[in-house]
Amino acid sequence: MGTFIQLVVDGLAMGSIYGAIALAIVLVNQSTGMINFAQGGMAVLSAYFAYALLGMGLPLILAILVAVAISFVLGALIERLLMRRFESGDPDTAVVVTIGLLTLITGIAGMVWSYNNLQFPSLFPPDSFSVLGAAVSWRSLGTFLTIAAIMVLLQLMFQKTKVGLALRAVADNPKSSAFSGLPVGRLLMIGWGLAAALGAVAGALVAPRLSLTPGMLDGALVYALAAVILGGASSPIGVVFAAWLIGVLENLAAVYVPFIGHDLKIAVPFVLLFVVLLVRPQGLYGRKTVVRV
Amino acid sequence: MTLLELVDVTASYGPVRVLEGVSLSVPEGGAVGILGANGAGKTTTLRAISGVVRTTGVIRFDGDDIRGLRPDQVAARGIAHVPEGRGTLPNLTVRENLMVGAYLRKDRRELATDVDYLLDLFPNLAARISHNASAMSGGEQQMLAIARAFMAKPRLLILDEPSLGLAPSTAKNVYEAIRRLRRESGIAMLVVEQNANLAFSIVDTATVLETGRSVLTGTSAELKGRDEIRRAYLGG
């Protein structure tokens, strides 16, 4: 029982990281209709920013917050200066541009900070507490709660606020939104900025666990994309639940299903994905997009 | 008083010039039609006003030069554009579509009154207020597009072929609602329409376009039966 709880809690913590990246992807997807493959890379870069700020003597929490703010600006600038050129064209071209961006960012991070593992301190205390015989680390619980809170805030923003509605409107039909006076360009910058800021939070939360390297979130990006598809790209709550499910199932399968083990556990979310796409192509929580001709 | 004035406006899509010189004016509270054959430049004229295409010439609204503004800036001046093919937001609900229409408004209290008014005008929308726009029929989407534009409380409503793709009886209903909107709000309108009879049911005057040029302007009574009108629709 103790092992089981521990696996679930650790799975939720790791799932929360996938969830944060997935949320960032959803944010961009909700405002631009495209998938940003560089989202994980941008989050790693943000973690390096926090690392550099730490090196300059800032306290950890402040370093992370400043890195989040820098990431917001950087995300907005990437939209304005780079992605804007591709938004009116073929969506596939824009997606390929984000893959290029991922390569570029990874390369720059490697050039500046090297490809070696760097130690990044955790926001949460390193010790654990005991629940029903399981050792639950503060780090896992803190990661989980932070991402859960952000998910709720994002859902509220999209559903209840004017800027949330505006972001969704721009994703749906940018030309027509402009006719209602929505400043489309500025809203896209906000969407990209928020996504980058969210990625920065994820980067800072996961860096202590994985240790900081340019490719730190490459694996998480794959899981995050699985969560986006599983949860349905239109639903922030859906993708986080999907990410938690992936994190937990992956952990449980590695221990309880003998032939999977740690080597094959990466296949678990994709088997799940395959089944869900067969049964419910719009994702677990997503709304079906109907196109009339 | 003139609300909107176009003088010798040209417009191009890349190297292809579509408008060669269009002049027209819409008086405060007036309703003006733009008539012409396919490809005469009717839709492009509306897009020129909204800032979607690159233009030369003079586009003046309420005394100010608005040529070169972005579409959202034009909207902020008080021009609401219902584009060709409706331009609803398919994955947003009917209510959300209306709220997006009201994006620039500050008078939050009056919003509810206006929503009620529009739902009374378009009962079909009331029944589907929480449905996604994509789930509605073509006629209902056209009504939603008009209602959304009206939510902006514009001074000028630009309508691009409201009857396009609708069954004749549905088109009649849509025009009935437009007439009522105009009567009750006194809002100025600029309407592009293929169906001249439908257009003449709401406009006071009309401008006829031929191959990107305005060739004739007159009241409905003057224009009915003119050769230019026949040419515009039969393509002479």
Q: Where are the domains of chain B?
A: 2-86+155-234
Distance CA B90, CA A36 (A): 23
pLDDT category, B57, cuts 50, 70, 90?
very high
Find chain B residues with C-beta within 8 A of A167's C-beta.
none
Question: Nearest-CA neighbor of B31 among B228, B185, B211?
Answer: B185
Average pLDDT over residues A276-283: 74
Average pLDDT over residues B18-36: 94
pLDDT category, B86, cuts 50, 70, 90?
confident
A184, A234, A291: residue with CB nearest B72? A184
One CATH from 3.40.50, 1.10.3470, 3.30.70, 3.30.1340 for A2-279: 1.10.3470
Average pLDDT over residues A197-213: 92
Chain B contact for A165, CB < 8 A?
A: yes
Q: Which residues contact B122 (CB under 8 A, 6 or more apart)?
A: B140, B143, B144, B147, B177
A175, A181, A234: residue with CB nearest B76? A181
Least confident of A23-37, A39-53, A133-147, A272-286: A272-286
B96 and A169 within 8 Å at the Cβ level: the answer is yes
Q: Is residue B160 a contact partner of residue B84, using CB atoms and an 8 Å limit?
A: yes
Chain B residue with the nearest C-alpha to that of A289: B91
pLDDT(A145) > 80? yes
CB atoms within 10 A of CB A262: 11
Fold of the CATH domain B2-86+155-234: Rossmann fold (3.40.50)
**Average pLDDT value for chain A:** 87
Chain B contact for A289, CB < 8 A?
A: yes
Distances (CA, A) of A80 to A75, A164, A170, B88, B201: 9, 19, 15, 26, 46
pLDDT category, B38, cuts 50, 70, 90?
confident
pLDDT category, A78, cuts 50, 70, 90?
very high
| Percent of the residues in chain A that have a pLDDT greater than 90, as a whole number | 49
pLDDT(B33) > 90? yes
Distance from CA of A184 to the nearest CA of B (A): 8
Q: Is residue B183 a contact partner of residue B193, using CB atoms and an 8 Å limit?
A: no
pLDDT(A250) > 90? no
pLDDT tens across B95-131, in order? 999 999 999 998 888 899 999 999 999 999 999 999 9
CB atoms within 10 A of CB A255: 15
Burial of B213 (0-12, 13-18, 19+ CB in 10 A): middle
**Average pLDDT value for chain B:** 91
**Which pLDDT value is given to residue A293?**
42
pLDDT(A104) > 90? yes
DSSP track, A62-75:
HHHHHHHHHHHHHH
pLDDT category, A231, cuts 50, 70, 90?
confident
Best probe of the B interface among A29, A161, A176, by most B CBs < 10 A, is A176
pLDDT top residue among B15 and B154: B154
Q: What are phi and psi of B60, to 5 degrees?
A: -115, 135
Least confident of A262-266, B33-37, B145-149: A262-266
pLDDT(B232) > 80? no
CB atoms within 10 A of CB B25: 17
What is the amino acid identity at position B26?
Answer: V
pLDDT(A122) > 80? yes
**Which pLDDT value is given to residue B235?**
53
**Which pLDDT value is given to residue B188?**
96
pLDDT(A287) > 70? no
Distance from CA of A17 to the nearest CA of B (A): 28
Task: Tell me the two tokens of residue A281.
Answer: 């192509």
A172 and B89 within 8 Å at the Cβ level: the answer is yes
A180 and B50 within 8 Å at the Cβ level: the answer is no
pLDDT tens across A154-190, in order? 889 989 999 999 999 998 888 999 999 999 999 999 9
pLDDT(B220) > 90? no
**Which pLDDT value is given to residue A109?**
95
Find chain B residues with C-beta within 8 A of A166's C-beta.
100, 103
B87, B96, B104: residue with CB nearest A175? B87
pLDDT(A234) > 80? no
Average pLDDT over residues A255-271: 76
Least confident of A140-144, A222-226, A232-236: A232-236
Chain B contact for A160, CB < 8 A?
A: no
Best probe of the B interface among A180, A282, A290, by most B CBs < 10 A, is A180
Distance CA A116, CA B165 (A): 63
Distance CA B187, CA B189 (A): 7
Largest pairwise CA distance in chain A: 60
B52, B76, B135: residue with CB nearest A290? B135
A172, A178, A291: residue with CB nearest B92? A172
pLDDT(A273) > 80? no
pLDDT tens across B160-197, in order? 999 998 999 999 999 999 999 999 999 999 999 888 88
pLDDT top residue among A277 and A216: A216
pLDDT category, A27, cuts 50, 70, 90?
confident
pLDDT category, A291, cuts 50, 70, 90?
very low
Q: Between vectors from CA A273 to CA A267 and to CA A278, what angle results, nearest 5°? A: 130
State the complex-level ipTM: 0.91
Q: Which residues contact B201 (CB under 8 A, 6 or more apart)?
A: B175, B179
Distance from CA of A163 to the nearest CA of B (A): 9
Average pLDDT over residues B228-232: 72
A179 and B89 within 8 Å at the Cβ level: the answer is no
pLDDT tens across B60-72, in order? 999 999 999 999 9
B70, B87, B91: residue with CB nearest A176? B87
**Which pLDDT value is given to residue A284?**
65
